[in-house]
């Protein structure tokens, strides 16, 4: 079984991004800037933001984090977003989710300038994705597609099954896989909690993408022999971090699979850096 090494691929992308940052900085006279808004004390979010800060420093992106208390109001977050929208030195704005329970994330995400929406969640960028127009893409699905590309795995003409219909991963990934280009062009089935006989659908997949957040739900006997399994799910269990697949049971069945951790996770941050440089280039060079 081929191991899809997200750590190695993400390291290569970060090295390429660092060179792009050097070139861009020389042209515009400043480094690209990324602002992160973190409200509350969610442990995984705190860790994730620290990882983003380290990754930005590695490639030369200026990172600024607004750490706000859990009692921050929605109006205060909206005010911070509007201020960041107006700053010329900020090219990307990332609102770390989940927000505290009293805050509605949708109007906050919609308040972000689409040109600075490096998470790719704004309705404008989602619409551009659906219409196959250039734009900022959601980082995790984009990272999945890049992981496949750099692992020489092509879903074109194959049956792809996506399990999970979130706006963050499942839906945009299904659109990307079905896009009319050489790297995609798959026949896509999108499954969810109401899908009957999920196992039989999984067994029909040449490429299986898991984004449920249900640890070790998919087992080797649910796979077509030789199938490619990309596990986006990540859950904290008594046995540590686990993906949606029972990874040990895949070894004698899958042709390739991504581990958890070390698979898709590093790709998400790598694509965030890529999006920040893309946003800076488009804004400053008007391209």
Q: Confirm whether 206 is a catalytic residue.
A: no
3-state helix, strand, coil in the chain (%, to 5): 45, 15, 40
Among the listed residues 31, 52, 171, 224, the single catalytic one is: 52
Q: How far is CA 71 from CA 35, 65, 103, 229, in A?
A: 20, 17, 10, 41
DSSP 8-state assignment for residue 137: P
* HSE-up of residue 83 (Cα within 13 Å, Cβ side): 10
Residue 188 near residue 205 (C-beta atoms within 8 A)? no
Please give the Cα distance from 56 to 81 (Å, whole number). Answer: 20
8 A C-beta contact, residue 13 and residue 269: no
Q: Which of 113, 117, 119, 244 is catalytic?
A: 119
252 is catalytic: no
The answer to whether 144 touches 137, Cβ cutoff 8 Å, is no
52 given a catalytic annotation: yes
Active-site choice (31, 91, 96, 278): 96
Measured between alpha carbons, how far is 88 from 264 in angstroms, rounded to an integer?
A: 32
Catalytic residues: 52, 96, 119
């Amino acid at each position: 079984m081929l191991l899809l090494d997200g750590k190695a691929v993400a390291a290569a992308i970060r090295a390429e991004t660092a060179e792009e940052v050097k070139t861009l900085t020389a042209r515009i006279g400043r480094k690209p800037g990324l602002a992160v808004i973190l409200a509350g004390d969610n442990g995984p979010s705190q860790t994730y933001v620290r990882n983003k800060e380290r990754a930005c420093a590695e490639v030369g992106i200026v990172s600024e984090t607004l750490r706000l208390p859990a009692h921050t109001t929605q109006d205060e977050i909206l005010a911070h977003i509007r201020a960041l929208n107006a700053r010329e030195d900020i090219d990307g704005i990332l609102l770390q989710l989940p927000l505290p329970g009293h805050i509605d994330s949708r109007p906050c995400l919609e308040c972000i300038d689409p040109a600075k929406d490096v998470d790719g969640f704004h309705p404008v960028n989602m619409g551009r994705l659906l219409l196959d127009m250039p734009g900022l893409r959601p980082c995790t699905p984009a990272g999945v597609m890049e992981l496949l590309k750099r692992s020489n795995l092509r879903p074109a003409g194959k049956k792809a099954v996506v399990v999970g219909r979130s706006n963050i991963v499942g839906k945009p990934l299904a659109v990307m896989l079905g896009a009319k280009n050489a790297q995609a062009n798959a026949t896509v089935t999108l499954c969810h909690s109401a899908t009957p006989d999920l196992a039989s659908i999984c067994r029909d997949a040449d490429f299986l993408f898991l984004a449920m957040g249900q640890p070790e739900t998919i087992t080797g006997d649910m796979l077509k022999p030789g199938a490619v399994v990309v596990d986006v799910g990540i859950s904290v269990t008594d046995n540590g971090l686990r993906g949606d697949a029972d990874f040990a049971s895949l070894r004698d069945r899958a042709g390739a699979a991504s581990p958890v951790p070390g698979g898709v996770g590093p790709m998400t941050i790598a694509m965030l850096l890529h999006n920040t440089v893309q946003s800076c280039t488009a804004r400053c060079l008007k391209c």
